[in-house]
Every structure is written in C-alpha cells, then in structure tokens.
Structure 1
Amino acid sequence: MTTIMPRWEQLSRRTAYAQGRLQVHEDEVIQPDGARSGFRVVEVPDGALAVAEDDAGRIALVRYASYVHGEVLTPPGGTIEPGETPEAAARRELAEEAGITATTWRRLGETALMTKNTCRLHMYAASGLTIGQQKLNGTETGMTLEWWPLPDAVKAAMDGRMVLSGASLAVLMYAREKEAR
C-alpha cells in the first residue's frame, strides 16, 4: 500500500544572510496541513568522512577542540569543496586530518543532519591504509589521531562520547556492515 505524503509548497524566498557558502533563507510556505507560514532554511555545503580501518581491526578517529561543541571525537572528515565529489572529499580529509591514504573505498551511505539545514553527510569506509603525516590547517591545530578497536568506538558512539551525530552514525553503520560480511 502506497501512502501519498502531503507536501510543502514554497511560495517565496528571501535570503536573510549570505556569506561565502553559508546562506540563511526565509521562505514563505504552505505547510502539509494547508496553513501558510514562514520557514527558515540554512544552506551550507555537504560534508564527507571516512571510517578507516587498519589491519589490526582498529579505526582511525581524530580528537580536537571544536569552537561550538568543545572536544570532539570523530572519524576524519569535513566540507566538500566546490567541484569536488564526496569520495574525493573523504579521501582528502583522511589524508589531511589523519595523514592516511587508502587503496580500497566503499560508500556507507549519506544522511541529512537536520531538518532545517541542507547539509548532507556522505560516509565512506576505507581500508588498505598507508600512514603518513597530518596536514592540518589553523582550525585543526592540536588535532590528534587515535586508533580505536571497533567495539570501543561503537561504545563511544552509543554513550555520547561522540557528540557529532554523523560521526556516531558512520561508526555504527560501518560496524553493522562489517558484522554482515
């Protein structure tokens, strides 16, 4: 049985704020219940991250000080640059933040991070690793690379030590995929 979901209809859009690749829009909409209302949409670039596993079954996580969230533990990842594919961004971020290159890549999936935000996070698994040097930028100063056994990383995702939802989801998706193999 197919259910037809009621739809939103955009009547107008006003950009309230724009700087670089960040925009905030004030839309006038008709909601699924037929009522007219205002709706704010935050438009930001998509991101990509990589769950990289070494031959010992450990995954690479980076720990750093985030301006908004304090200390963060996450698989390496970041913003997709203009003209870059999600996989290319995941490869670049893994090399920059962790100093790691990989020979084998698999797509884990993608997720929307919030309902009023356009950002989608593209998640990849990486193996066949070669370890090199981190290439950190100014906001990543002090970022450390840690190697976690997968069961411990899953626990960290479940108990809140990974505060970023996409980081937790990527680790859990990777663990589930690995379990199914």
Structure 2
Amino acid sequence: MAEFPPDDGRRHESLPDPHPDWRVIESVPEYETGWFVGGYDLIEQPDGSRKRYYWAELATAVVVTAVTDDHVLFVEQYRPTIRHEQLELPAGVVEAEESFTAAARRELREETGFRADSLSLLEDVWVATGALRHKRAYVFAEGLEPVGQELDANEFLTPRAIPIEEAIQTVRSRPTNEATLQGLTLADEEGLL
C-alpha cells in the first residue's frame, strides 16, 4: 500500500476534518505512480447511505504570471498527455516546506531564465474538486532580470515573450490550459496587465 500522504519531497496540502454530516468511514489510497496517488473515501452521506468518492492527489503547484518590458513571459512546450504543443505560463510543483512565492521564483528562473525582484500571491485554489485533491497557487512576478535557464532533465520548452496587450487573446486563440488562462485573468483583474 502506498504511503499516504506521500513523502516525496513535494508539498501536499492537509485536508480539514470532514463535515459532521459527511462521515469518512475509510480513506484508501489504492494506486501510486510517483506523480499522483489515486484512491477513494468511503463516505456516509447525510441520508445514511454510503458511497465511494474516488480521488487523485497531486502535489501542490504554482503558476507564474511574469511581466517584463511590457511583455508577459510564457513557455511553449509539447504536452504528451494531450498530444499537442501549448503556450503556457511558467509553472511547476511546490517542494515540501516551500512557500508559493519561493516556488514561483524557482520555477520562473528554471523555465524562463529570469529572476524576479518582486513576487506576490494572487490566489490559491483547489482544482477540479470533483476528482482531484490538488491545490494551485497563482503568483505575479515583476522586476525581472535575465540570468539564464536551468531546465530539469525532463523539460523541453522554449520561453516566449508576448506583448501584454496581446497576451490574453494570444492564449485564447491557440491551445493552452486552464491554469494559463486563470493566471492571466487574475493578474488582469488585479490591474497588473
């Protein structure tokens, strides 16, 4: 049986105690890949019936909206899971004991080759709560200085800078992911773009 929560060096969010009307009979991790843990909770529902609620737990992640010289920094990369190249905001897993902004600083540096002077947390949210135990944070970065990329061995991506006024329309006109669109939207709503 997989260790739960996994002690994999990555940050995993603690779950609160269950609501008293939704009693957890058992929580069973059934499958571990090294990237996620899948399992189920057997729940006694408010009407007394029991049901298994299946979940997959992924480590906490961070998405970075970084602005320099009136441009937003993106990375272009092929995503084998959907068999398509995408334009995305820099992002990655938060390490154990690492803050959202520290993770954003590290990921931005590794993926784009820029170091940020100023980082601020825009929002942190639970993602796809019908199936996932996964928290994602959105961080805004500015005051950027080029210092050189440091890609992980499994990263094959190319940094791209898009003018701020074209950023949202550009990602909406080509394949992207929800994290990129949400990161841009949050920054725009805060008046940062």
Instruction: Please tell me the TM-score bracket, short chain as reference.
Output: 0.7 to 0.9
Cα distance per residue 1:87-134 (max 9 Å; x no partner): 111110000000010111111101222112111111111111101211
Tell me, yes or no, if structure 1 residue 132 matches structure 2 residue 156: no
What is the distance in 1 between the residues matched to 2:186 and 2:21?
Answer: 30
Amino acid at match of 1:124: V
TM-score by length of 2: 0.81
Cα distance per residue 1:119-157 (max 9 Å; x no partner): 11111111111012111123212x111111223221134
What is the distance in 1 between the residues matched to 2:98 and 2:133?
Answer: 17
Q: Greater helix percent: which structure?
A: 1
Q: Which residue of 2 aligns with 1:13?
A: 27
Distance 1:169 1:7, change over 3 A: farther
Q: Which residue of 2 aligns with 1:149?
A: 163
What is the distance in 2 between the residues matched to 1:19 and 1:44?
Answer: 10
Tell me, yes or no, if structure 1 residue 49 matches structure 2 residue 100: no
Distance 1:21 1:67, change over 3 A: closer
Q: Aligned with 2:138: secondary structure?
A: strand
Q: Is the contact made by 1:47 and 1:77 (CA closer than 8 Å) also made in structure 2?
A: yes
Percent identical: 25
Q: Which residue of 2 aligns with 1:75?
A: 89
2:179 to 146, 163, 166: 166
Cα distance per residue 1:40-96 (max 9 Å; x no partner): 1111100012111013x2100000011213212111110111222221111100000
- Structure 2 runs not aligned, ≥5 long: 1-18
Cα distance per residue 1:17-46 (max 9 Å; x no partner): 124362112211123554311111111100
Q: Aligned with 2:68: secondary structure?
A: coil
What is the distance in 1 between the residues matched to 2:125 and 2:48?
Answer: 28
What is the distance in 1 between the residues matched to 2:24 and 2:148?
Answer: 48
Distance 1:20 1:6, change over 3 A: same
Q: Which residue of 1 aligns with 2:77?
A: 64
* Aligned length in residues: 173
Q: Aligned with 1:170: secondary structure?
A: helix
State the superposition RMSD in angstroms. Answer: 2.2
**After TM superposition, what 4+ stretches of structure 1 lie above 6 angstroms from structure 2?**
none
TM-score by length of 1: 0.86
- Structure 1 runs not aligned, ≥5 long: none
Q: Is the contact made by 1:154 and 1:175 (CA closer than 8 Å) also made in structure 2?
A: no
What is the distance in 2 between the residues matched to 1:61 and 1:161?
Answer: 13
What is the distance in 2 between the residues matched to 1:169 and 1:30?
Answer: 34
